[in-house]
C-alpha cells in the first residue's frame, strides 16, 4: 500500500535516534488492510460489471464516465476517512 519508503525512513531515523529497533503495535494496521481489501474488491466488481454492461472499463457515455469517477473517488474517500479514524 505504498509504505516502503516511509517505513525505511522511520526505521533509520528511530535506530539512529534511540539505537533500538523500530516497533509498531500489531493491531495498528489490521483494520486499514481490511477496509482496503473490501473496497478494492468492491472496485474490481464494479469494473467487471461496467465492462459487461458498457463494453469496456473506460469510456462510455458522459453519464457513465462521471458516475464511474464519482463512485471510485467515493471509495477512495471512504478508505481515507476510515483509516484515519
State the Cα–Cα distance between residues 3 and 10, nearest whole angstrom: 11
d(CA 44, CA 7): 28
Residue 32 in this model has a pLDDT that exceeds 90:
no
Please indicate whether residue 83 or residue 11 has the higher confidence score (pLDDT).
83
Overall average pLDDT of the 10-19 stretch: 67
Q: Average pLDDT in the 40-66 region? A: 87
Higher pLDDT, 30 or 68: 68
Domain definitions of the chain by residue range: 26-84
**pTM, 2 dp:** 0.66
Mean pLDDT of 77-84: 90
Amino acid at each position: 500500500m505504498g509504505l516502503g519508503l516511509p517505513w525505511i525512513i522511520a526505521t533509520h531515523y528511530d535506530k539512529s535516534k534511540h539505537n533500538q529497533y523500530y516497533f509498531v503495535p500489531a493491531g495498528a494496521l489490521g483494520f486499514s488492510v481490511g477496509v482496503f481489501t473490501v473496497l478494492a474488491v468492491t472496485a474490481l466488481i464494479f469494473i467487471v460489471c461496467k465492462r459487461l454492461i458498457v463494453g469496456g472499463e473506460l469510456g462510455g457515455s458522459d453519464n457513465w464516465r462521471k458516475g464511474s469517477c464519482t463512485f471510485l473517488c467515493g471509495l477512495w474517500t471512504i478508505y481515507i476517512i476510515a483509516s484515519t479514524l
